[in-house]
């Protein structure tokens, strides 16, 4: 994954996490939603299979930030 793709994936993840927190979801649920959103973006951009995209996002080690 190149740097520009990684940045877009991270932005999708953190934006989704923030929106999830705004809806009152727990950090775990927010993380799960962030991973799904980021994986969907990666899948659409790169034509990656859903499971592979989800694994690639998980491999980035993204976690909800305390200030989200």
| Residue 65 clears pLDDT 90, i.e. is over it | no
Q: What is the pLDDT of residues 10-59, one digit of tens each?
A: 999 999 999 999 999 999 999 999 999 999 999 999 999 999 999 999 99
Global pTM reads 0.91
At 68, is the pLDDT very low, low, confident or very high (cuts 50, 70, 90)?
low
Token readout for 68 is: 């989200």
Instruction: State the pLDDT at residue 1.
Output: 82
pLDDT recorded at residue 66: 72
SS3 for 10-34 is HHHHHHHHHHHHHCCCCHHHHHHHH
């Amino acid at each position: 994954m190149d740097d520009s793709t990684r940045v877009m994936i991270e932005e999708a993840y953190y934006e989704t996490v923030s929106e999830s927190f705004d809806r009152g979801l727990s950090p775990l649920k927010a993380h799960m939603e962030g991973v799904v959103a980021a994986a969907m973006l990666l899948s659409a951009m790169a034509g990656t299979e859903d499971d592979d995209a989800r694994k690639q996002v998980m491999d980035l080690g993204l976690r909800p930030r305390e200030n989200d």
